Chain A
């Protein structure tokens, strides 16, 4: 047995899982609250990365990641909010609106991704590492960068939880998700909540984009992988279930790492979808989802 190797892979899975969790939670939130499925989610991931790149590399602003995060949050919230207001909200009253939302966000994704390509060129962009060096515990080696990503991702999720549980807007978001009619009765402006949710989810995925850009780089089409993974995690955990999404993110992060380690990288995608299908066959609503 190679105990330390398994530990090594475990850490890899944990880091992956934390970032997936950060990003999948946003997708599941939007679906849970407004039943809208956002195909441009991956493009919002790239948006975060490019935003940070413009600030840090192109404009060369000093202030490091703290400054970038401080500026990115309002930018991303605003971007998501406006996007919802302008292109998603008008569709809500139409027939087949769910398909139309998928289509319009797919169109947006096409626009954004190719827009990045035109603006920033096809080549990848990189960000300075958030931290260098590593912690060595005997045979186990953990890069500080990974620790930082893990810590920031988890803080992001905790902040998100705090927001949902303890703020008026967070409670309103949960209220709309649990009972849209009840929410309407007490005077919660549903449409504004939908848009706000979209904004919050954009922040989640955009921050994920910034965190990962310094390790995995930014490229115009780089968001598709994120969209697919977030989607799988969301469905696996139960669409609209935030706790389910968190659990699923870590399970899939681990699965990815161990399948890659034991069987090889080719099998990761097969394994992901295999587990998803098996789960849905037994529990059509995902791990923690509810029908409706």
Chain B
């Protein structure tokens, strides 16, 4: 579904990604593991058109999408869900969700998607009028994911969904992600560590110092001693 080939990316003047190649197949959840500051987020941003300079080739559903604007990508069904949420703080939950459906293709299905999202996140349904800035960390995270789903995307790039969350909330978020996956969405997930990796991921990559250092199935990752120690917290 998504193929990244020999991508080099730059953040300001810093060369962050070096010849990174990876892919996500239709209906897959791929987890990109790696320590903080080694380029995981940059990779997601490169895919989603949020960087100024990206070399290499990115294809999505057979189309070359390198250099596309975020706007075009959202319309094609690729959505980025930011690690720091990037919500509209002075707006209500409902307004945030409506803005999630800003892209042309999403507008027609706004009602249906809204119903689905509220089904998935009953917490949000109860807080439609609350300002986003006043929400707790976990709720805000859920709102960010929910807003992403409103775009009617087929492909979600989720940046560290569990960052800074209590263990119980974490589980809840992962459960929701699983549910989304069950509904047929593909995902590229970035995380520093995931204990329940096998439960969630189909395949795993590890990105260190801007290079891919491991790739394999979730089972292979779970069996790898080094990964177990560093990333999986087992």
Interface residues of A (CB under 8 A from B): 168, 171-172, 174-175, 178-179, 181-189
Q: When A172-B102, A187-B75, A188-B99 are in contact, do A182 and B70 touch as well, CB less than 8 Å?
A: no
A281 CB to nearest B CB, Å? 27
B163 located at the interface, meaning its Cβ lies under 8 Å from any Cβ of chain A in the complex: no
How far, in Å, is B74 (CB) from chain A's closest CB? 3
Min CB gap A288→B, angstroms:
12
Contact of A178 among B50, B71, B90, B98 (CB under 8 A): B90
Question: Among the listed A179, A184, A187, A189, which residue makes an inter-chain contact with B88, where contact means beta carbons less than 8 Å apart?
Answer: A179
Contact, CB under 8 Å: A187 / B70: yes
Nearest A-chain residue to B85, judged by Cβ: A182
A-B interface, 9 closest residue pairs, ranked by CB to CB distance from nearest: A187-B74, A182-B86, A187-B103, A178-B88, A187-B71, A189-B71, A184-B70, A175-B88, A181-B86
Closest B residue to A184 by beta carbon equals: B70
Residues of B close to A171: CB separation below 8 A: 91, 95, 98-99
Q: Mark B94-109, 1 if CB is under 8 A from A, else 0.
A: 0100111011000000
Task: With both chains docked as a complex, state the minimum distance between the C-beta of A173 and any C-beta of chain B, in angstroms.
Answer: 11
- Cβ–Cβ < 8 Å partners of B98 in chain A: 168, 171
B89 partner, pick from A178, A185, A186, A188, beta carbons under 8 A: A178
Name B71-85 residues within 8 Å CB distance of A. Answer: 71, 73-75, 79-82, 85
**By the criterion CB–CB under 8 Å, are A174 and B91 in contact?**
yes
Query: Is B147 part of the binding interface, using a Cβ–Cβ cutoff of 8 Å?
Result: yes
Q: Look across to chain A and name the residue whose beta carbon is closest to the beta carbon of B106.
A: A187
Is the pair B100, A186 in contact by a Cβ cutoff of 8 Å?
A: yes
Q: Is the CB of A187 within 8 A of B151?
A: yes
B161 to chain A, nearest CB (A): 15
Docked complex Cα distance between A172 and B74 (Å): 15
Known: A182-B82, A182-B85, A186-B103. 5 other contacts (CB 8 A): A175-B91, A175-B99, A178-B88, A187-B103, A188-B99
**B151 x A174 contact (CB < 8 A):** no
Closest approach, in angstroms, between the C-beta of A216 and any C-beta of chain B? 36
The distance in angstroms between the C-alpha atoms of A188 and B103, with both chains bound, is: 7
A189 to B103, CA, bound (A): 9
> Once the chains bind, are B95 and A179 in contact (CB under 8 Å)?
no
A187 to B82: give the CA distance in the assembly, Å: 13
Chain A: minimal CB distance from B119 (Å): 21
Once the chains bind, are A185 and B86 in contact (CB under 8 Å)?
yes
- Chain A residues near B125 (CB-CB < 8 A): none
- Specify which of A174, A179, A184, A187 is in contact with B87 (CB 8 Å cutoff): A179
Residues of B within 8 A of A184 (CB): 50, 70-71
Q: Which residues of A contact B73 (CB under 8 A)?
A: 187
Which residues in B have their C-beta under 8 angstroms from that of A183? 88, 99
| Contact A178 to B91, CB < 8 A, known contacts A186-B147, A187-B74 | yes
Residues of B within 8 A of A186 (CB): 74, 79, 99-100, 102-103, 147, 151
Q: Which residues of A contact B85 (CB under 8 A)?
A: 182
In the assembled complex, the Cα of A186 lies from the Cα of B75 at a distance in Å of: 10
Contacting pair B90 A185 (CB below 8 A)? no
25 contacts between A and B (CB under 8 A): A171-B91, A171-B95, A174-B88, A175-B99, A178-B89, A178-B90, A179-B87, A179-B88, A179-B89, A182-B82, A182-B86, A182-B87, A183-B88, A183-B99, A185-B48, A185-B50, A185-B74, A185-B86, A186-B99, A186-B103, A186-B147, A187-B70, A187-B151, A188-B71, A188-B102
